[in-house]
Amino acid sequence: MKDRTNRPGATVCTDFAQLKRWIFARHSNPLSAWSRWASVPLVVLPFWKRSPWVGAAVAAWMVLNPIVFRSPRDERAWATRAMLGEELWSERLRFDRASTVNAVSTAAMAVSIAGAWRKSVGQTVPAVVVQMSLTLVFWKLMTDFYATIEEAGRSTT
């Protein structure tokens, strides 16, 4: 079989995979996962306040959050298994229930941002609640996915 690691871009792919693994290893810390989930309402704040400075601060937090925490000691926490499941799930394009939940959650985020821009509490708050709720549904699907992958790995050994 031909060695594919020497082709152009292979190192970049390998480096990206290693970076992704490092980020998810840290993001699987329950403190990272839950604090990022709790930060979802912050996403609408720059639009509500029309402040690029607030936007920069929120963006910085969302980028730094997955990497500022240490990797968890074990995989017992529900949030840890959800993040590890998401890492595995995101390795290829899928059209499944989790994809649908993710798409609807993204749409809810867009609705919340539009509501924040119009300063409509009646639009913003319910949309944020829907997005946060769907994130928990997505996490449940990811823990199930992770358990399935784990079980498949055990049955092959």
DSSP string, 89-151: HTTS---SHHHHHHHHHHHHHHHHHHHHHTT-HHHHHHHHHHHHHHHHHHHHHHHHHHHHHHH
Q: Tens digits of per-residue pLDDT, 112-136?
A: 999 999 999 999 999 999 999 999 9
pLDDT interval class at 5 (50, 70, 90): very low
**pTM of the full predicted structure?**
0.85
pLDDT interval class at 151 (50, 70, 90): confident
Q: What is the pLDDT of residue 22?
A: 87
